[in-house]
Structure 1
Amino acid sequence: MVTSSELLTLSPVLPVVVLHDADDAVPVAHALRSGGVGVMEVTLRTPAAVDAVARVAREVPDMVVGAGTVTTPQQARQAADAGAAFLVTPGCTETLVSAALDTGLALLPGAATVSEAMRLAERGLHALKFFPAEASGGTDALRAIAGPLPWLRFCPTGGITMDSARRYLELANVDCVGGSWLTPPDAVAAKDFAWIEALARQAVALTAPER
């Protein structure tokens, strides 16, 4: 079972995947895996998402699949029951964090402020999602947070592109970034899985520099 800290080291880019048809889940997972990306976050923003997580967990065993945009305790339980390996939340209410931790799965909770990050650290959570990254100050904010909280690790997500990802990965407290550009809606709709594989290969090349 993957831990929260290990989750941040599986790929320079954590694909944030929105699927409207669960039938696309396995081909997308295979495309990402063929491109060298062995982890994917399926966001619970569509009715097909939970089934998509279940299909990947069942049919693509070498893909670490998790559920993102988890906003309620019920969603945390549904994702766990579907076979998710990890949970990602956009924010960090006490009720949601407790429910997510109760599943026993790796948790990447969302934080946008120093106070939120400190509250999560008090719960023993040191691998966090910085969201929404660009709207919350981007690399400047993360560089500032590293001053008082140097032991926290982040996966910034929200508004990050292929062009801006490397700037984040150069930060000492960033191990990976979250990105939706690996699975563009047009590529998924057209079932152009070769396009997704090519984008995954580009993402793998964004390896963080040695520190």
Structure 2
Amino acid sequence: MDQTTRKLAQYRCIPMAKVFAKEQAGKLSEALHTAGLPVVNVSQQHPDGAELVRTLAKDPTLLVGSGNVQTYDQALHALDNGARFLFSPLFDERMIALAQQQDIPIFPVTTQIAMAELHHLKVLGCYPVTELGGLAFINKMGEEGGLSFIVAGHIEESMMEYYLSNPHVLAMTGSWMFADGSDWKAITKALVRAASWKLE
């Protein structure tokens, strides 16, 4: 397992920023650091997603990745902007090759063990986790293919233990800790709770 993936597995709960404008990068970074959870997965489907990655990635103490990457060009721009990991709801072979050529971990989604093996992937994304079959799907893929997962898709705080207690689930990524919008005090408190899942 590469160092970045190992770090994500240690953090366990990876905050996903889906609603923040680039002007909010400073407050977002401050909240993550204050909470002791210096990691963020920035959705590339937000208009400011690419620029938010670029701004946040200037901080070497913050582990910044790009999520919901749906095209090769989005992956290329994310890497150019300093993303240190990629999540994609697709299984795009060009995108996977691009990330691997740059030694950047990518977590695409597939239901086929053979495809993961073909591309030397041991950790996949699982999104949307419920629609893919939940833990029954994860257990089958984990047991038959030796795969691990980072789960995503409408995961609320109350569901954290349900997923993270599974041996095939390395981590989750979601946005429940940002439910209070621009209330940074509430966001920081939620991030502190998210940080409590970290492995020492």
TM-score normalized by the length of structure 1: 0.86
| Distance in 2, Cα, partners of 1:20 & 1:200 | 15
> What is the deviation of 1:20?
4.5
Please state whether the residue corresponding to 1:9 is helix, strand or coil. helix
> What is the deviation of 1:33?
2.1
Quote the residue 2:178 is aligned against. Answer: 183
Letter in 1 for 2:48: A
Report if aligned partners of 1:132, 1:157 keep a CA contact under 8 Å in 2.
yes
* RMSD (CA atoms): 2.0
Please state whether the residue corresponding to 1:139 is helix, strand or coil. helix
Report if aligned partners of 2:4, 2:84 keep a CA contact under 8 Å in 1.
no
Alpha-carbon displacement from aligned partner over 1:134-182 (angstroms, at most 9, x marks no partner): 1211122212222212x31110111211111111111111111111112
TM-score normalized by the length of structure 2: 0.90
Is it true that 1:12 corresponds to 2:7 in the alignment?
A: no
Quote the residue 1:46 is aligned against. Answer: 46
CA distance change for structure 1 residues 49 and 12 in 2, over 3 Å: closer, same or farther? same
| Distance in 2, Cα, partners of 1:80 & 1:136 | 28
> What is the deviation of 1:78?
0.7
Gaps in structure 2 of 5+ consecutive residues: none
| Distance in 2, Cα, partners of 1:64 & 1:36 | 12
Quote the residue 1:89 is aligned against. Answer: 88
| Distance in 2, Cα, partners of 1:52 & 1:10 | 24
Report if aligned partners of 1:10, 1:39 keep a CA contact under 8 Å in 2.
no
> What is the deviation of 1:41?
0.4
Quote the residue 1:63 is aligned against. Answer: 62
* 1:1-211 → structure 2 map (5 Å cutoff): 3=3, 5-58=5-58, 60-111=59-110, 113=111, 115=112, 117-149=113-145, 151-184=146-179, 186-187=180-181, 191-207=182-198
Report if aligned partners of 1:134, 1:160 keep a CA contact under 8 Å in 2.
no
Report if aligned partners of 2:18, 2:42 keep a CA contact under 8 Å in 1.
yes
| Distance in 2, Cα, partners of 1:69 & 1:148 | 27
Query: How many equivalent pairs are there?
Result: 199
Please state whether the residue corresponding to 2:64 is helix, strand or coil. strand
Please state whether the residue corresponding to 2:66 is helix, strand or coil. strand
Report if aligned partners of 1:12, 1:176 keep a CA contact under 8 Å in 2.
yes
Letter in 2 for 1:101: Q
Gaps in structure 1 of 5+ consecutive residues: none
| Distance in 2, Cα, partners of 1:143 & 1:54 | 36
Alpha-carbon displacement from aligned partner over 1:105-133 (angstroms, at most 9, x marks no partner): 2212223x2x1x43123211111111110
